[in-house]
Amino acid sequence: MGRVERDTNGKHQPLGSIAPRPPEARRPSRTDRTGRPADPGGRNDGGARVTVNAAQPAEMVQLLTPEGERVEHPDYAIDITPEELRGLYRDMVLTRRFDAEATTLQRQGELSLWPSLLGQEAAQIGSGRALREGDYVFPTYREHGVAWCRDVDPTSLLGMFRGVNHGGWDPNAHNFHLYTIVIGAQTLHATGYAMGAAKDGAEIAVVAYFGDGASSQGDVAESFTFAAVYNAPVLFFCQNNQWAISEPTERQTRVPLYRRAAGFGFPGVRVDGNDVLAVLAVTRAAAEHVRTGQGPMLVEAFTYRMGAHTTNDDPSRYRPKEEEEAWQGRDPILRLRRHLDLQGAADEAFFAGLDEESDALARRVREAIRTMPNPDNMAIFEHVYADGHSLVDEERAQYAAYAASFEEAR
């Protein structure tokens, strides 16, 4: 599928008012959930718990219900062809297959760590396909789907987690920065880049991806301040998967994350992060907002991390099983599959062909990781100082002698 760049009539959703929080609602229990996903509109909206439609939390943009039915939103519209729908479905399926293969490879000892995106495919594919080629993306370490949309070879994402490089792609070749492990730091990088782009007169959107946990970092608050004051063309895209490792969102904020933008002087909107069409429409509108000189904007994609935070995490120790089961019914890929079936937009030949393509991708990933060359052990001493340094030369010689001693012992 080619890049989806149809214009949108969408506008950012108006911000709501924040009601005083009564004492009895200051810390609602996370265990009082029912079959619906966590209710951010009632859980941490600054007011008493409210009852909302089980299909979606309050104040959230949705265009596709969990049952796969299209609904309209007054501020966001999207016109999409059956071919484009199939393309979005293909993107999500292949991204999930790559992610699953990487997780398996880690379990087999081929990778030291892997941060899965399971459950967040719609948030990433929808936003990634909404961007233009000239836009610039600053990811965290989980944006495998966005990397797919930016034409980064999936196998290039594995090198850092195998420990053979610090990032296996040229950022400027795809306008996709290297993964950032330091939580929240990429928002500063994105803001600075956006400020520079504005001074150069470039009409682009700079996108900073981060999670709900990173929203508690000072780096993010500083980025919001600078972006607002300098009217920087940066789109802050928060994937709120509700769990910052083992801490739920209500332990970090008393208001929905998108409302934080108002305190810094720019608009924010919450979108159903498991609805690829809504994410596509909202991100298109938000990117156009920042691209046309209207200043920064915050998009909160309300989604769910269906797996572990990383492969060294055990979510069963802190997350209710009932919650996970409730969200499985809102699987973003299942949702779009239901819509394709309702619309008659894809036949069995399409799905069979996609299964074959998924298997081929998995084989390519396994082959790539197992044949990935190890780095030169002496490379760590290169490029430390531009003109060299006597201490580095001494350390290089010491390490070379140490490494050689193992060869002599054989």
Question: Phi-psi region for residue 110, left (φ > 0), alpha (ψ -120 to 50) or beta?
Answer: alpha
Burial status of residue 221 (CB atoms within 10 A of its CB: 0-12, 13-18, 19 or more): middle
Q: List all residues 6 or more positions away from 99 whose beta carbon is below 8 Å from its beta carbon.
A: 116, 117, 118, 144
Catalytic residue among 96, 97, 305, 330, which?
305
Catalytic residue among 70, 251, 318, 385, which?
318
Q: List all residues 6 or more positions away from 23 whose beta carbon is below 8 Å from its beta carbon.
A: none
**Are 147 and 157 contacting, i.e. CB atoms less than 8 angstroms apart?**
yes
H or E, element range at 335: helix 332-343
Of the candidates 27, 24, 25, 49, the residue with the CA atom closest to the CA atom of residue 39: 49
Report which residue type is found at 343. Answer: Q
Catalytic residue among 12, 142, 284, 309, which?
309
Catalytic residue flag (residue 305): yes
Catalytic residue flag (residue 318): yes
Catalytic residue flag (residue 309): yes
Task: Tell me the C-alpha distance between 341 and 336, whole Å.
Answer: 9
What stretches of 104-191 adopt beta strand conformation (E)?
136-138
Catalytically active residues, by annotation: 305, 309, 318
